[in-house]
Amino acid sequence: MFDGDDKYNMIDILFDKVAKDGISHHLSPGCNFSFPWKEFFHNFFKLQPIPKLLVVCWQKPKQGLLKLNTDGSFNISNGKAGLGRALRGEEGKLIMAFSVPIECFSHNETEAKATWYGCNAE
């Protein structure tokens, strides 16, 4: 990966090579190659994600109900995963919790298994 100005230097190197060697042999006859690719890629590398902060607070269940929270964590490099569940009453007091290590093939599978185990644990 390139960092900082290295990205721009690589774009300059690639476009200098294209300018030197030409690109006509890659294009169909009569093709007009007028798109400003160099400018496009310079602008593309300037794009950055815009971080957004959203505070989410746990809320108690309605009176007479229980609330089940589940979560899964997955390590793609070795397939190891962990599942967890917390069951709380209407006052937010912990009734039961568990965590268990498992192996999965994806993050989505891990989250689905966490929900399944959370709903089916005895």
Comparing C-alpha atoms, which of 92, 97, 24 is closest to residue 58?
92
Provide the CB-side half-sphere exposure for 25 (13 A, CA).
5
The region of weakest confidence among 30-39, 48-57, 89-98 is 30-39
Greatest alpha-carbon span in the chain: 76
- What local confidence, expressed as pLDDT, does residue 82 receive? 94
Q: What is the pLDDT of residues 6-29, one digit of tens each?
A: 555 666 666 665 555 555 445 555
Comparing C-alpha atoms, which of 79, 77, 76, 69 is closest to residue 99?
69
Q: What is the pLDDT of residues 69-99, one digit of tens each?
A: 999 999 999 989 999 999 999 999 999 998 9
Percentage of the chain modeled with pLDDT above 70: 69
Report d(CA 11, CA 41) in Å as an integer.
7
**Pair 104, 81: CB distance under 8 Å:** yes
